[in-house]
Amino acid sequence: MATVSTIATVMRPPSRSVIVAALGVAQILAWGSSYYLPAVLAQPIAADTGWPLSWVVGGLSLGLLAAGLLAPAIGRQIHRRGGRPVLAASALLLAIGSVGLAIAPNLPVFIAAWLVMGLGMGAGLYDAAFSTLGRLYGQGARGPITIVTLFGGLASTVCWPLSTFFLGAFGWRGACLAYAAIHLAINLTLYLITLPRDPGPVPADDPADLTRSSTVRTPRSMRTIFLLVAVTLTTSSVLSTLVSVHLLAMLQAREIALAAAVALGALIGPAQVGARFVEMLFGKYHHPIWTHLVSAAAVALGLGLLWQDVPLIPLALIFYGAGIGLESIARATLPLALFGAVDYAPAMGRIARPSLIAQAAAPSIGAFLMLRFGTDGTLGLLAIVAGLNLLLALVLLHRVRCLPASC
């Protein structure tokens, strides 16, 4: 009997906190070795190979495009089979893509490796992790999702220095191989050990929760709400990607030295994590629509201030950072609250497709705007778009018709 009891204890599924921590660590490494990789390695790759920097950096955009095209299928797979096989596949794809980058003899092979990386990103970054948590915990996934975003916010903080170390020790090709080993040794292991092989049935939605989310849930009304959610979340993603890529150039165009621009840009990270921490503490007391509304308002205010005089830039970046920090949470929790756990993973996949495709185009759009309208003109346009997105969030709030009990 003691032996049976011991075996049962050993085979007991990992606790929720263990699963959340494992996904959080894996998100740091997955984001840092893919989305944030060109920030450190792009210049050394271009200098070593002679390939155009625009194409070296553009590999990420093509990867995001591949991730967007794959996103709906990823959502359906997680809905049917749970997140374990999908996330495990993402670790393998990211490892293969990293090896492809490391051994690429020419630019076409390098770009092909980024397409493989994109498939891994689509199967392994936030949308897939959030869908996995929703598939496991239903409406109870909001807290775990927020905690995972806290981990994810540390990706650049952890992996930029790590990439710099790998670059100095092994060169850029060795750095890519090191990340391939990390995907296989750490991420793949975490997914296989902590995530359940059988996720069980999709958690049923509490009818009371759905009633509080929206007083009118006809198919037509929900299609309208879905469209509003997809458009406003896609717009938020485009704004954050475009500004993140071009922020240092925008600040330097204001005659701010590079060192000072980097120091100002560093304000975004703490603001982002701080806003997510506040959401973790108080998010259970309000509907996610309010998280999205505050996020849209903070981004609009931040970009509006950034458009103004230089003394306002630190405050502008704090508001902007807080806004994009909350946007990551709203992107995950709003569809869960509105569409329910039963349809959550497929809904996340459908929302992710336009968002990732638009993110892939965002750097090029930003470069065109900077060339055509200059820094001030570009910031003005971005502030206007952010303001329109805030209005769209208000329209969504009206359509959802939250009752006081939940909002």
Domain boundary among 142, 159, 194: 194
pLDDT for 214 equals 44
**In terms of domains, do 48 and 151 share one?**
yes
Q: Tens of pLDDT along 226-281?
A: 889 999 999 998 898 888 878 877 888 888 887 787 778 778 888 888 888 888 88
**In terms of domains, do 120 and 40 share one?**
yes
**In terms of domains, do 182 and 254 share one?**
no
Domain boundary among 169, 194, 219: 194
**In terms of domains, do 318 and 223 share one?**
yes
Residue 96 tokens read as 């293969």
pLDDT for 5 equals 43
Residue type, 383: A
Q: Which residues contact 93 (CB under 8 A, 6 or more apart)?
A: 116, 117, 119, 120, 123, 124
**In terms of domains, do 351 and 384 share one?**
yes
d(CA 364, CA 390): 24
pLDDT for 224 equals 84
Give the total number of structural domains in the chain. Answer: 2
Using alpha carbons only, what angle is made at residue 119 by residues 20 and 184, rounded to the nearest 5 degrees?
55
Q: Is residue 1 part of a domain?
A: no
d(CA 163, CA 193): 26
Residue type, 391: L
pLDDT for 6 equals 45
**In terms of domains, do 243 and 342 share one?**
yes
Kindly report the number of other CB atoms within 10 A of residue 52's CB atom: 11
**In terms of domains, do 212 and 189 share one?**
no
DSSP codes of every residue in 262-282: HHHHTTHHHHHHHHHHHHHHH
Q: Is residue 135 a contact partner of residue 82, using CB atoms and an 8 Å limit?
A: yes
Residue numbers of the domain that contains 26: 14-194
Kindly report the number of other CB atoms within 10 A of residue 256's CB atom: 17
**In terms of domains, do 270 and 374 share one?**
yes
**321, 30, 7: which is closest to 151 by C-alpha?**
30
Q: Is residue 200 part of a domain?
A: no
Q: Can you give the CATH number for the domain in which 247 is found?
A: 1.20.1250.20
**In terms of domains, do 136 and 227 share one?**
no
**129, 151, 137, 19: which is closest to 74 by C-alpha?**
129
Does the predicted TM-score (pTM) go above 0.85?
A: no
Residue 185 tokens read as 């040794």
**In terms of domains, do 153 and 221 share one?**
no
d(CA 241, CA 400): 27
Q: Is residue 7 part of a domain?
A: no
pLDDT for 42 equals 87
pLDDT for 403 equals 43
**In terms of domains, do 38 and 187 share one?**
yes
d(CA 251, CA 6): 60
Q: Is residue 265 part of a domain?
A: yes
pLDDT for 206 equals 59
**In terms of domains, do 190 and 212 share one?**
no
Q: Is residue 5 part of a domain?
A: no
Q: Tell me the CA distances in angstroms from 130 to 51, 136, 138, 179, 303, one per residue in order.
A: 36, 10, 11, 23, 28
CA atoms within 13 A on the CB side of 323: 31
Q: Which residues contact 200 (CB under 8 A, 6 or more apart)?
A: none
Give the residue ranges of the chain where pLDDT is below 50: 1-2, 4-10, 208, 210-216, 403-407
d(CA 46, CA 50): 5
